Chain A
Amino acid sequence: MTDLLTAKFKVDFSEFNLDVELNLPAKGVTVVFGPSGSGKTTLLRCLAGLERAPAGYLKLAGQVWQDEGIFLPIQKRKIGLVFQEARLFPHLNIEENLLYGYQRTIPAERNLHLDEVLPLLDLKALLKRNPEKLSGGERQRVAIGRALLTSPKLLLMDEPLASLDMQRKAEIIPFIKRIEDQFKTPIIYVTHSMNEVLQLVDTMVILKSGKVANWGPVEQVFSDVRSRDAVGEGQLGAVLETSVAEHDAEFGLTRLDFMGQALNVPKQNIPVGQNLRVHIHSKDVSLSTAPPAGATSVLNILQARVGKIGILDPEGYSVDIELDAGRPILATITRKSLANLNLKPGQPVYAHIKAIKMVHELEG
């Protein structure tokens, strides 16, 4: 296995500890999520080589960056770093900023060039301008471009959109997605805002007080009965990758294909065949053990099997239930319903889905 990131860090600060062990796919977008103080930034600094965790271990794609007696300094690590602030050099114009790292990359190792990065990030018009003349969103695009032009083996982003307003965020996200699609640069993205990244994330790492609370493919982590605390009430539920199957102009609907089953959503302005990521809140999923006998207004009914059943809190009324519908889905039902239906792991059920949201429409 070469395309793997293996990391082990233990940092003891007086007021804060980080103790993580990670085995991540070194491809796609990995989001490290957690509240402030959970150790996200420290983890990122350890990965970057800005912080040296004693007895730490880091290996990327077969190359050891840190081990006993080995500590590759940051300038040798082939990483791109993007922070909340763009950190452009004020004494250089945009073109010089972009080329700073490119010029310091061995020509044989340059996989990305200015003529590829400029259109990707829409930077052509900015080249001769000075950083202070740019908007926050433009600066951040320059920072991303500058990092990319070092042809990094790993792109580390620490809350890169946190200082931007909603509109600017929405502008930048497609650019980040394109990086991943076009250049296959693995990205580790640190954030405390889940919605920001739901369109991007492939692998999710949830940090809590310096420890990994849960991690795995995004659809698994989101539909895990243990994720309620970490993910938050607002987003708890399934994140599903679907593709647009057909548009139904008569009823204003778009039919999505999900693992061979159909999901209907309000008509989307997206061509047939294209992928679309949707989110189903666990509260919008109800269950029945028999197929709906009569008519129902619910359009989307998926066949699934009961998976893990969450902890029954005697104080609470509801319980989270994992479902296997080819991909995991999470349902939150009342404890009373659970007793009435007498659900057991492995049992086939029908999941009635009352609402589906496109991930980019999520709020909060």
Chain B
Amino acid sequence: MDFSMIDAEPILLSLQLAGVTVVILLTLGTPIAWWLAQTRSRLRVVVEALVALPLVLPPTVLGFYLLILLGPNGWVGGPVQAITGSVLSFSFAGLVFASTLYSLPFVVQPLHSTFESIGKIPMETAQSLGASRLDAFFSVIAPLARRGYLTAVVLGFAHTLGEFGVVLMVGGNIPGKTKVISIEIYDRVEVLEYTQAHVLSLGLLVFSFLVLVMVYAVNRRLPVQVI
């Protein structure tokens, strides 16, 4: 198979997008998941539902609202344009924003269930030994939650790599800016370049399969238990 005909740009862009998105998601998802695992507030169900929404909504619905939100007149796009001078829709930054929302459940849910299974005791114990909540989180909770984090990172990354509808709606199809793998595959199929579509599709498939195998294998070997 001739790899020279494969354009590396969409692949790199996809990896870049997934990487940035995962970093943002971990920073954002950790407090959300922690709050969900701790709170007795009635708002919990609402937040849980909001986080899970991207799982059930057609990507086009999410993409449509994001397009409006991120556009020059949108609640987010407007102020951003006023400050930075650049439009958020049809840009890489816009894609990151959209991917963050779209992949949120894939990061929050594994973290949430991990924090829940860890329970309150390690936090209480660390605090009774003089640790502040933040200190206790990084020195005890995070290490205990490592398999939850691994799952969250892999799922968040793989899911961002694989998204299509939202990206197309929000980012369009601008080479080097918003044209990611999934869209490149779509383009190749449109023009009947099945070989190139095959290479990219198979690559994505094998990659996704391998990382999932890795997650399940590692999870098996890292049982979480508090003694």
Contacts and interface: CB of A to CB of B under 8 A. Distances in A.
Contact of B130 (A75, A85, A131, A132): A75
A101 B227 contact: no
A91 B124 CA distance: 16
B227 A146 contact: no
Q: Binding site of B, secondary structure by majority: helix, strand, loop or mixed?
A: helix
Interface string A88-110: 11110000000011001100000
Contact of B225 (A50, A79, A81, A90): A90
A104 B227 contact: no
Contact of B128 (A81, A85, A90, A105): A81
A75 B226 contact: no
Interface residues of A, number: 25
B130 A105 contact: yes
A79 B129 CA distance: 8
B144 A81 contact: no
Nearest to A151: B130
Given A87-B125, A89-B140, A91-B144, A104 B130 contact: yes
Nearest to B227: A131
B27 to A, nearest CB: 22
B73 interface: no
Interface string A64-84: 000000000111000111000
Contacts of A150: 129-130
Interface string B128-145: 111110010001100110
B128 A79 contact: yes
Contacts of B144: 89-91
A75 B131 contact: yes
Interface in A145-189: 146-147, 150
A91 B127 contact: no
Among the interface residues A48, A90, A101, A139, which one has the most CB atoms of the partner chain B within 10 A?
A: A90
B217 interface: no
B54 interface: no
Interface residues of B, number: 20
B121 interface: yes
Given A75-B132, A104-B135, A87 B127 contact: no
A146 B226 contact: no
With a 10 A CB-CB cut-off, give which of B122, B126, B129, B144 has the most chain A CB atoms.
B129
Contacts of A74: 124, 127-128
A27 B110 CA distance: 47
Interface in B5-49: none
Contacts of B129: 75, 100-101, 104, 146-147, 150
B130 A101 contact: yes
A86 B122 CA distance: 11
Name which of A50, A80, A91 has the most chain B CB atoms within 10 A of its CB: A91
Given A89-B140, A104-B135, A80 B122 contact: no
B227 A139 contact: yes
Interface string B185-227: 0000000000000000000000000000000000000001111
A48 B130 CA distance: 12
Contacts of B140: 89, 91
A79 B127 CA distance: 10
A91 B226 CA distance: 9
Nearest to B125: A87
B117 to A, nearest CB: 13
A104 B226 contact: no
Contacts of A100: 126, 129, 131, 139
B227 A88 contact: yes
Contacts of A48: 128
B128 A80 contact: yes
Contacts of A147: 128-129
Contacts of A139: 227
A104 B124 CA distance: 15
A141 to B, nearest CB: 14
Contacts of A86: 227
A75 B128 contact: yes
A100 B224 CA distance: 20
Given A100-B131, A101-B130, 19 more contacts: A74-B124, A75-B127, A75-B129, A79-B128, A86-B227, A89-B125, A89-B144, A89-B226, A90-B144, A91-B140, A100-B129, A101-B129, A104-B129, A104-B130, A105-B130, A132-B227, A147-B128, A147-B129, A150-B130
23 contacts: A48-B128, A75-B131, A75-B132, A80-B128, A81-B124, A81-B125, A86-B227, A87-B226, A87-B227, A88-B227, A89-B140, A89-B144, A89-B226, A100-B131, A101-B128, A101-B131, A104-B131, A105-B130, A132-B225, A132-B227, A146-B129, A147-B128, A147-B129
Interface of A: 48, 50, 73-75, 79-81, 85-91, 100-101, 104-105, 131-132, 139, 146-147, 150
